[in-house]
Structure 1
């Protein structure tokens, strides 16, 4: 005898942050976007999004990185959930509860991560069982980084970053992220990049052979030498202290360092677990940075987790 499927009362999805191992930026297109060639890696800094059926659409944001995150329809997680509903004829509203651990406005795609988590959570809550390509299509409409965070791991991104291709990568990498109390506007960083490159030829980007070789080798030092970001000079131009942080991390033994995305977070690659511990301690003890996070990569993308603790819902 087969039992009927039971609709869950709530679904919780955990989703990782990302770092761009390589971010190559082409000339601006007519629509204002820039063609990109990037290599993403998901890392073990996570947000959680829990959704439940509700009488009306709503969202709450909690956690240590919740300050400044909108709790309204401008939140990417809310936009993703509504877009998924509209595309599939769902009329049941949900409440989304976002628990923030990923740094905000730090170039680690925390908002895009929450959008990816909302898609996976609502897909399960509503019993849609969409294919991964179908979810990725909606994800790409929400934001350029969202499709990658559905799958995680390590992948190449092209177009605006939303067109993905798998990358053959070996090994586990140990990261130390130097956080800033200030944020950087992504549009401002791209505009500054264009200004700095004005008058120089800017070619269509393509992944570098050095990056592909380093990832295939699984060697942290090789990967550290291959890290690159065309937005780094612009981020430093807008926030010069980022350059000081980069210098400090390399002096304290990092095998590589790069601004993550549009910044201002700086991602340092360490040779192993112990080296990452030492680097994190040195950065904070020296006063070079106030806050660091350690993580490893690659990490799995957005995935459903058991709700093992009570969830405090707004009343």
Structure 2
């Protein structure tokens, strides 16, 4: 084992799903996915320090009142899983400073878990390496491996089978945040209901779950104008039925000049694609003028990394 620091700081990004195709529900309750993740410049900061047991505190720039501080928290589970796997008998105190909206469809909890794996590996000097950390991440949740790697990636299976995607240049997004979160299981359940109804507004389950070449070409070209018409989220119809205000935000975003937009993941965060940083700031200003909470971010950015 390597030299152990007294405390470490790891930063991990939130994500948006540039494309999210959802297959039919399996008997185990999960759905097959074909998705493209992009890590964006909205971060979770995890500070890990030596302790006798396992403790957790959470604060941040977003509402953290609904974040559990026990084993329901993915970061806590990540720390305990790593200790168990590596045979570590030490504990850890984790302080999470959240910048990614809670229950916003941007993978904040998964980013916390990825950051906790990297932080505890450094704190305890376990030196598990990227391959073993990825395997632990996949056991914690479908979005955790991506938060570990960052960048842009195609996800298959439950979203945890990752293939890096070539993405040139920079993509600028305006995120419109929501005060009230959405439950991921409820949104998937609503999609299943919509698909079971004759003449449902939701897309029929795709015959094959593949990310369209148009999405991959646009990312490879670094072309926001080419990417905009290819943006898709099969969960969007289900999210908007529960939250009609999300549909109104999408319409306003396009009216204010965004190239395209979609609900991120299971929502309720709206991601609006813009042509440049200047264009994004102009769209952001107009949305702020309507009383909405809008942030300008860019991607792709790296995954969970030690700071300092």
The two structures have a TM-score, normalised by structure 1, of 0.93
Aligned residues of 2:2 and 2:127 also touching (Cα < 8 A) = no
Task: Within 5 Å, give how 1:102-251 maps onto structure 2.
Answer: 102-198=100-196, 202=205, 203-251=207-255
- Of 8, 11, 15, which aligns to 1:11? 8
Residues 240, 226 of structure 1: CA spacing in aligned structure 2 closer, same or farther, 3 A cutoff?
same
The alignment covers a number of residue pairs equal to 301
**Which residue of the partner structure matches residue 253 of structure 1?**
257
Aligned residues of 1:177 and 1:266 also touching (Cα < 8 A) = yes
Task: Provide the C-alpha distance between the structure 1 equivalents of 2:157 and 2:306, rounded to a whole number of angstroms.
Answer: 29
**Partner deviation per Cα, 1:228-265 (whole Å, 9 max, x = no partner):** 00000000011111000000000000011010000000
Aligned residues of 1:27 and 1:204 also touching (Cα < 8 A) = no
**Which residue of the partner structure matches residue 278 of structure 1?**
282
- Of 39, 56, 59, which aligns to 2:56? 59
Structure 1: 5+ residue stretches without partners: 307-315
For residue 27 of structure 1, give the secondary structure of its aligned residue in structure 2: strand
Task: Within 5 Å, give how 1:261-272 maps onto structure 2.
Answer: 261-272=265-276
**Which residue of the partner structure matches residue 24 of structure 1?**
21
Which stretch shifts more, 60-69 or 47-56? 60-69
- Of 297, 301, 304, which aligns to 1:302? 304
Which stretch shifts more, 246-255 or 87-96? 87-96
Q: In the alignment, is residue 92 of structure 1 matched against residue 96 of structure 2?
A: no
Which stretch shifts more, 213-222 or 62-71? 62-71
Which stretch shifts more, 4-13 or 220-229? 4-13
Deviation at 1:5, TM superposition (A): 5.4
**Partner deviation per Cα, 1:140-182 (whole Å, 9 max, x = no partner):** 1101000001010000001100000011211101111001111
Deviation at 1:186, TM superposition (A): 0.1
Deviation at 1:206, TM superposition (A): 1.1
Deviation at 1:125, TM superposition (A): 0.8
Task: Provide the C-alpha distance between the structure 2 equivalents of 1:169 and 1:146, rounded to a whole number of angstroms.
Answer: 20
Structure 2: 5+ residue stretches without partners: 199-203
**Which residue of the partner structure matches residue 312 of structure 1?**
none
Q: RMSD in angstroms over aligned alpha carbons? A: 1.3
Aligned residues of 2:3 and 2:125 also touching (Cα < 8 A) = no
The two structures have a TM-score, normalised by structure 2, of 0.95
Task: Provide the C-alpha distance between the structure 2 equivalents of 1:52 and 1:204, rounded to a whole number of angstroms.
Answer: 46
Deviation at 1:54, TM superposition (A): 0.5
Deviation at 1:199, TM superposition (A): 5.4
